[in-house]
Chain A
Amino acid sequence: MPTAAPRLHMQGIGKSFGGVPVLSGVDFTVEAGEVVALLGSNGAGKSTLMKILTGLYGRDAGTIAVDGETVDFAAPSAAVAAGVRLLPQEISVMPDMTVAENIFAGDLPLKKGLLFRSVDDAAMRRRSRELLDQLGFGAIDPDTVMKRLSVAEQRIVEIARALAGQARILIMDEPTAALTEQEATLIFRIIRRLKAQSVSVVYISHYLSEVFEISDRIAVLRDGRNAGTFRTAETNHADVLAAMLGNTVGDLYAEGGAAKGEEILSVEALSLPGKLDDIGFSIRAGEILGVFGLVGSGIEVLGRAIYGALGPMKAGRIRLGGREYRPASPVAGKRSGIGFVAAERKKEGIIADLTVRENIALSFQERFERGLFVSKSAETSHAKKWIDGLGIRTRGPEQRIRTLSGGNQQKVCIARWLVEGVELLILEEPTRGVDVGARKEIYGKLRDLADRGFAVLVLSSDVEEVAGLGDRALVLDRGRVVGRFGRGATPAQLMAATSADPAFHAA
């Protein structure tokens, strides 16, 4: 019976934030030299689980054992010392330093000098070469300045950095997100080598096809609980998706309105080098079109391109409100009748120091003027109208927007565009960082706005949001439209479209 203890054994892990349980009773096991994919939709608890494992968060319940030894990482450095390494989703390198310096930045080898200890360049270079060799990339010169490498090569150096020292468990969070398909195969090659060296890998990815290619086992989380573990060789996409998402959308979403009006926006052959490829679709008044895609699929740029935030577009034909329209700038987009709500509310949405009233009036300030001067009473009555209309919870129009909750800030960002003349609302990630209650409200309000005659374009990486909210849905993958769905599409269908797996479509 007593075979070797598993490399990693997390048992009964529980965690809550402010009384809201995020993880409850989660078990997670990885054997030595095994690649386990950790799957789950946004908010399922993947990243919380990994943050507990790497010592970033404490846990409320459960035990963690590495190679049979119970551990308790009080800080990320303790996890690193025990050989648990994390490769974060965002590439973070020092572009002006060499490859070797990047690999050893956290732990520079030193040598005794005459007066003080100095960096042992020779040792650093030698060990960098060994590490890169070990990954099968001896061709990368340790003396190269980092910024001269391709994104994929930078990724590889990051992996080398994570492996410097004794790595036993490597957690890779969406390691291929910024890479092309071909570059992604380099990462897979490294994972296979690591396996052979008996390093365990936790692989987090949204791309099912990748997961099926590289993993030995698939562990699925849903709403902070285990939702199934599968041997990769013995399962299929449909079962995994069902575990991840279920087949129901729930009652978070309002019923779609029936009557649709005339066509507001039509896009043909819209392209942006390296980002968007031959995109075409249309939206009618009263309709919500959801566009789903993963990180890097093009959803981050599609809305901006149409609005004009990316400057003049060279390729593609767009008609807006029956007229030819060329995206040029946000000013032009706004004048043509487009409202745009950006994904990063804090960085790109609110003006934190201004009041709710000022934030709402700002986008069409010229409409709240009397002669040369701003009319505060006109601003106030307009702000009050939409504070009521969208159910913004605030002490009043004079409250500073920074003191509102995320969901209410988002409603203010929407309210900015609700003036005469705006026909199309483009929203990126409309409920990112918003709690469930406020999400439901925002979905309801978007449906109300559509019923009032707005055409609504929602771009989101939350598959359930797109499936539930949209009258129709598009799926983007690597800049192309890879799926078109009518109302009633399930999250699993949308997700499957991104994976572009013929076997699944046949099923």
Chain B
Amino acid sequence: MATATPATISATRRRMTSLLGRPWSGVAVLLVFYIGLVVVFSVLSPFFLSVRNMLSIGSNVAFIGLMAATGTPLIIAGGLDLSVAAIAGLTGVVISLLHMQGLDIWLAVAVAVFVAAAIGWINGLFTTRLKLNPLIVTLGMMSIVSGLALVMTGGLTRPLMVPGFNVIGQGRVFGVPLPLILMLVTFLGLWLVLTRTRFGRHVYASGGNAEAARLIGIPVERTVVTLYIVSALSGAVAGIVLAAMLGAAAPNSAGQHLLTVIAAIILGGTSLNGGRGSVWGTLLAILILGTLNNGLTLMNVSSFWQDVTRGVVLMLAVSLDQIRSRALGD
């Protein structure tokens, strides 16, 4: 009796929505999707399934993952940082220019990190104190920062070859690329902070209901400003990793990856309305997007098509988020 009566349809729909409404369902769906992707590419390409290729995916996505990791709590708290990738570009530029002026490489790194923190702090002040829309503030900041990076270099790529520094991007520990380790440690740390600390609770409360959070004496502004600074710092670290990997600082090297950063956070199930999300979802999403890129490249698909694919995946993910929101009764 395979006829679908209205009763069975509505029962199925109820089951579907109740499944999608579970807190972990988003991450579970992503995990299934990721495994499916790995299986498909393993069948399609003989080069895909190897430790070497997996580690290469990991180290390719590491600097993007770093930015997406800190972007996740920021979006959960109701913020958004579009300037993070531009900050990554500026960081490399600042380090290479200062180093060329004869400054010690680690001092140059320290200056660049400080500059990034200041930019994050400004983002935070504009969005909290002046209550401006973060989309506009950080879009403006993105333009300022990437423009400055171009001005400082004249648009040219600067070499940055300092063995001690390049290790950050090229080194390995027990065969595992250092950038990948850095990214995984960041995710682990943020997971602990978000789920196990007071600050983490404040993040969810600030994004879930800022006014209620303020009225029960949670420092909402301070929480959000901190997250903007952390996001900018992750941009700086991503810029350092990228410049160290490439042995050069290009002013616009990271900007093109902003879309991937935001896409990963949303694909990972973090609600753009705030209050909901997890870093594990973002990590899986980063792996999915990286695997998609890698697999398509191995199959000789033009990189132009990869942009199309990423967009399609993103829109599917956003639709899924909307369905999940409804299932949760918003």
| Interface, chain A (partner B; CB < 8 A) | 309, 329-331, 333-335, 340, 342, 347-354, 358, 361-363, 365-366, 369, 372-374, 402-403, 416
**Are A365 and B208 interface neighbours, CB within 8 A?**
no
> Which of chain A's residues have a CB closer than 8 A to the CB of B276?
353
| B51-59, B120-128, B198-206 - interface stretch | B198-206
Q: Could you mark each residue 197-221 of chain B with 1 if its beta carbon is under 8 Å from any beta carbon of chain A, else 0?
A: 1101110110011011111111100
Q: How far is it, in angstroms, between the C-alpha of A355 and the C-alpha of B214 when the chains are bound?
A: 18
Name which residue of chain A comes closest to B209, CB basis. Answer: A351
**Are A330 and B214 interface neighbours, CB within 8 A?**
yes
Q: Is B131 an interface residue (CB 8 A)?
A: no
Helix, strand, loop or mixed for chain B's interface?
helix
> Which of chain A's residues have a CB closer than 8 A to the CB of B197?
372-374
**Are B216 and A416 interface neighbours, CB within 8 A?**
yes
> Which of chain B's residues have a CB closer than 8 A to the CB of A354?
204-205, 208
**Are B217 and A347 interface neighbours, CB within 8 A?**
no
Report which of A309, A330, A333, A366 forms a contact with B198, defined as CB distance below 8 A. Answer: A366
**Are B209 and A350 interface neighbours, CB within 8 A?**
yes
| Interface, chain B (partner A; CB < 8 A) | 192, 196-198, 200-202, 204-205, 208-209, 211-219, 275-276, 328-329
Name which residue of chain A comes closest to B200, CB basis. Answer: A374
Name which residue of chain A comes closest to B275, CB basis. Answer: A353
> Which of chain A's residues have a CB closer than 8 A to the CB of B216?
330, 334, 340, 362-363, 416
Report which of A309, A358, A369, A403 forms a contact with B215, defined as CB distance below 8 A. Answer: A309
Q: How far is it, in angstroms, between the C-alpha of A365 and the C-alpha of B198 when the chains are bound?
A: 6
> Which of chain A's residues have a CB closer than 8 A to the CB of B213?
351, 362
**Are A351 and B212 interface neighbours, CB within 8 A?**
yes
**Are A374 and B201 interface neighbours, CB within 8 A?**
yes
> Which of chain B's residues have a CB closer than 8 A to the CB of A309?
214-215
**Are A347 and B211 interface neighbours, CB within 8 A?**
yes
Report which of A352, A365, A402, A403 forms a contact with B201, defined as CB distance below 8 A. Answer: A365
Nearest 9 A-B pairs (CB), nearest first? A334-B217, A330-B217, A363-B216, A351-B208, A373-B196, A365-B198, A331-B217, A353-B275, A351-B209
**Are B198 and A374 interface neighbours, CB within 8 A?**
yes
Report which of B202, B209, B215, B218 forms a contact with A352, defined as CB distance below 8 A. Answer: B209
Minimal beta-carbon separation of A347 from chain B (angstroms): 6
> Which of chain B's residues have a CB closer than 8 A to the CB of A403?
329
A309-B215, A331-B219, A342-B215 known; A351 vs B196 contact (CB < 8 Å): no
> Which of chain A's residues have a CB closer than 8 A to the CB of B208?
351-354
Minimal beta-carbon separation of A305 from chain B (angstroms): 13
A353-B275, A362-B205 known; A348 vs B212 contact (CB < 8 Å): yes
Q: How far is it, in angstroms, between the C-alpha of A358 and the C-alpha of B218 when the chains are bound?
A: 13
A348-B211, A354-B204 given; name 20 further pairs at CB < 8 Å.
Answer: A309-B215, A333-B217, A334-B217, A347-B209, A347-B211, A347-B212, A348-B209, A349-B215, A350-B209, A351-B209, A352-B208, A353-B276, A362-B205, A362-B213, A363-B216, A363-B218, A365-B201, A373-B196, A374-B197, A402-B329
Q: How far is it, in angstroms, between the C-alpha of A331 and the C-alpha of B217 when the chains are bound?
A: 4
Name which residue of chain A comes closest to B21, CB basis. Answer: A400
> Which of chain A's residues have a CB closer than 8 A to the CB of B196?
372-374
Name which residue of chain B comes closest to A304, CB basis. Answer: B215
**Are B217 and A351 interface neighbours, CB within 8 A?**
no
